[in-house]
Amino acid sequence: MSEFRIHHDVNELLSLLRVHGGDGAEVYIDLLQKNRTPYVTTTVSAHSAKVKIAEFSRTPEDFLKKYDELKSKNTRNLDPLVYLLSKLTEDKETLQYLQQNAKERAELAAAAAASSTPSFSAPATASKISMQELEELRKQLGSVATGPTVQQSLELTRKMLRDKQNKKNSGQLLPIFPAWVYERPTLVGDFLTGSGVSTDTAVPIGSLPLTSQESAVVEDLLYVLVGVDGRYITAQPLTGRQSRTFLVDPSLDLSIRELVNRVLPVAASYSTVTRFIEEKSSFEYGQVNHALAAAMRTLVKEHLVLVTQLEQLQRQGLLSLQKLWFYIQPATRTMDVLASLASSVDKGECVGGSTLSLLHDRSVNYTGDSQAQELCLYLTKAASVPYFEILEKWIYRGTINDPYSEFMVEEHELRKEKIQEDYNDKYWDQRYTVVQRHIPSFLQKMAGKVLSTGKYLNVVRECGHDVTCPVAKEVIYTLKERAYVEQIEKAFSYASKVLLDFLMEGQELLAHLRSIKRYFLMDQGDFFVHFMDLTEEELKKPVDDITPPRLEALLELALRMSTANTDPFKDDLKIELMPHDLITQLLRVLAIETKQEKAMVHADPTELALSGLEAFSFDYVVKWPLSLIINRKALTRYQMLFRHLFYCKHVERRLCGVWLSNKAAKQHSPHSAQGFAGAFTLRQRMLNFVQNIQCYMMFEVLEPTWHVLEKNLKSASNIDDVLGHHTSFLDTCLKDCMLTNPELLKVFSKLMSVCVMFTNCMQRFTQSMKLDGELSRLALEHGTMLGPPTDVERAEERVRKERARKHLAEHVDTPQLASSFEATISKFDKNFSAHLLDLLARLSIYSTSDCEHGMASVISRLDFNGFYAERLERLSAERSQKVAPQLPAPRGIPAPAPRVAVTAQ
């Protein structure tokens, strides 16, 4: 059972029990998944379980009757359900809860019924009904309670099936029989009860001699055996789907009556089979039932031939009642088996694969009865022919021709173009799905491969390539399942190879993935240097002020100027400006199919205007059939990785720019330059942090995981393996790059923000220093040329300096409003160190308690010389004194130098 099926069943059970609140479905789902077995355990002994439930039940007869009824309908998983119910009878706590729950639901249902019951006004006591009106009412009620109800129910069933099939085959209405086929009862070949045909029964049969009685009864039996009433033996009207009963003249001799009662079950079976053949021959019941009815009609013709031969003997005076019983005995078992099958198919409302399952199970169950088994095998082979024709077209050509919805694979109308647009699109999973009730029991184990085989060929066929399996053979029903397994395995191997070769070689899947890696995972170094140099000024603008065509032109220029010009797929790369920042995008993706999804979708956008750097991302044009692998979900993950790496690269460039601008400090005296030491140290720590994080992601996460992906893709045997390997690659990259953990990502984002604010502060401070130096230089030049400055010139100089300082104060970040430069740098240092210690503490926890050993490498890189070890230890001691630790006991930070791990906030 799949994880989705477990979710669905648990939620449905909770809704049926009206359970609200509590631990929710997730607790039960996790418990069930932990206790799943790797093997199928559906074969259980239901006899002891049935006995146990019957002993426990207050009405055992009703339970056993219901069990037999469901068994006759060939209900799947009935025995495992009975076994589960027998286990529930031993659990007193569960029984008590179910009884209380049933009582509460009954009270709710009664209250609802009482509120919705219409009020009827009783007729006035004075009003009377005449005898004539009473007689007419009795006739109307009698006509409603008899024959037409069966006909109406059959018509309703046919209409329901017809509407369902026409809805599936939109634009192509299925053929139907004309109404007169159902309105003329004489066409059915069954007994005409209540037709008003007069029979000559003036002479009671009991008044005749025994010889005459026997002769009359033999003649009547020959009529009854072909569905025609006799003079002394007549068929009773049917009120439902029960077996036909007969009325025999009560004055008939007892010895003759005994033999007659032995022969009549054959006539009853004939009536059941005849009605089944006529009913299931309608178009609405599908080709499998048509084939089964045709096979039964062949056997019924043999029965009619037998009756004709007996009639010939009877006309020659050579047929006695004893001889009739002797000759009819071989047909008795045949007609009994046919009637039993017809009743089971009818009760179970079987169509398509479910009919074949019932026939197959009967064939297996008749193992000790060679005649019955041979008969069932004949019927199953005949009924399976149309089903196997659909199966052959599916596994050998990838097409479905199933107008009556009988096949195990169902096609849904989904557009393959949406796979490139919708993140949640499930084209590959939901375009073709398996319908459990239409899987024949002898193909149950191969249902998954049957589905995959046709899907693979269908993809190639939709690309305009005609595919025909070279190992195609006719599928013929047999009790040996190995025959099906071998044929389906061969077809599956061929389909897998065809599609895999088509994608890998014809569509160059690996080359496209390498192209995506080159751009989205920053594998092309010189291209990004050119691109970021060209777009730096444009991306600094608010996202609303950026013109995408200009960015597209700059991207084209960067591609042509770098080694990316040799990439044959470079024209598929596009620019996209995202409406959300990376954290919001990540949280929206993580909220998909959860309770928070609706809140995230309808959440108001952030009030802060995004800059081009925060909104920038690449997009990639992928065409069918590569969009099966590189779909919107995969591209969204690539985009999140790219935005993460791109912003890190941007911060690194800003810090390097600060390093370049700080070279001006060399012009100052050692004493004045001493105040810059703290800023330079902090800048270097930030640069070390950003570069080590980038190095970790590039060389310890992306590259090794990419090599594993390439190796797996080369050894993949089918497209599902390729999908699995590619999804696993992206999931691993996202997890190891800290993009699947919102807590880590938020701390990391704060660190990046501090770095950006620090660079802004340093850049503006450097500009201020340049401005002061320029003003001093100009004042010096002015003083030497014109003499000492006048009072007016000094006032103007003070105004200019004040304006410059005011402009600087308005454009720096909040920490910059401190009284002095040293205090501002000290605040940056404090914030950066606090966030970095928080990140290291959380990484230590995840690397030990959650077995995320890749995180340990980040700690080793960031704390390569033990600089933060003492701070972490001191912070851990302070926290442990305030509150008891809520996370697992601290362990050593895995790094070359001794480490002390701490608990997270």
In contact, 854 and 741? CB cutoff 8 Å: no
- Find how far residue 489's CA is from the centre of its chain: 25
List the single range of 78-87, 420-429, 506-515, 707-716 with lowest mean pLDDT: 420-429
Is residue 145 very low, low, confident or very high in pLDDT (cuts 50, 70, 90)? very low
Q: To the nearest whole number, what is the mean pLDDT of the chain?
A: 74
Residue 778 pLDDT: 52
CA distance 233 to 220: 6
CA distance 645 to 618: 12
Q: Which of 173-177, 312-316, 409-413, 775-779 has the highest mean pLDDT?
A: 312-316
3-state secondary structure 503-550: HHHHCCHHHHHHHHHHHHCCCCHHHHHHHHHHHHHHHCCEHHHCCHHH
pLDDT higher than 50, residue 144: no
Beta strands in 215-334 (DSSP E): 233-235, 246-248
Dihedral sign, CA of 472, 476, 477, 478?
negative
DSSP string, 587-603: HHHHTTTSTTHHHHHTS
CA distance 202 to 602: 87
- Find how far residue 193's CA is from the centre of its chain: 53
Q: Is the peptide bond prior to 625 cis by the omega test (within 30 degrees of 0)?
A: yes
Cite the DSSP H helix spans in 849-897.
854-862, 869-882
Is residue 23 very low, low, confident or very high in pLDDT (cuts 50, 70, 90)? low
Residue 379 pLDDT: 92
Average pLDDT score over residue span 94-105: 79
Dihedral sign, CA of 886, 887, 892, 895?
negative
Tell me if residue 191 falls in helix, strand or coil.
coil
CA distance 796 to 714: 75
pLDDT higher than 80, residue 28: no
Q: Which of 412-426, 644-658, 810-824 has the highest mean pLDDT?
A: 644-658
Count H helices, E strands: the chain?
34, 6
Average pLDDT score over residue span 622-651: 84
pLDDT in tens, 530-566: 888 888 788 778 878 887 888 888 888 888 888 778 8
3-state secondary structure 388-414: HHHHHHHHHHCCCCCCCCCCCEEECCC
Residue 772 pLDDT: 54
In contact, 497 and 490? CB cutoff 8 Å: no
Residue 382 pLDDT: 92
CA distance 686 to 706: 28
Tell me if residue 248 falls in helix, strand or coil.
strand
Is residue 707 very low, low, confident or very high in pLDDT (cuts 50, 70, 90)? very high
pLDDT higher than 60, residue 146: no
Give the burial string for 246-255 (b: 16+ CB within 10 Å, else e). bebbeebbee
- Residue given tokens 């068994």 in the structure block: 71
Structural tokens at position 566: 């040799």
- Residue given tokens 């060929």 in the structure block: 457
Residue 814 pLDDT: 38
Structural tokens at position 444: 């149950």
Residue 438 pLDDT: 86
195 Cβ contact partners less than 8 Å away, ≥ 6 residues apart: 185
Q: How many CB atoms lie within 10 A of CB 269?
A: 25
Q: How many CB atoms lie within 10 A of CB 558?
A: 22
Element (DSSP H or E) covering residue 156: helix 148-168
Residue 575: DSSP 8-state = E
- Report the percent of the chain where pLDDT is more than 90: 5
Residue 305 pLDDT: 92
pLDDT higher than 60, residue 810: no
pLDDT in tens, 419-452: 555 555 567 777 888 888 888 888 888 888 898 8
777 Cβ contact partners less than 8 Å away, ≥ 6 residues apart: none
In contact, 368 and 468? CB cutoff 8 Å: no
- Residue given tokens 């639901």 in the structure block: 105
Residue 64 pLDDT: 81
Q: Percent helix, strand, coil in the chain (nearest 5)?
A: 70, 5, 30
- Rounded to two decimals, the pTM is 0.67
Is residue 20 very low, low, confident or very high in pLDDT (cuts 50, 70, 90)? low
The most distant pair of C-alpha atoms in the chain lies apart, rounded to whole Å, by: 162
Is residue 499 very low, low, confident or very high in pLDDT (cuts 50, 70, 90)? confident
Distance between start and end Cα atoms, the chain? 40
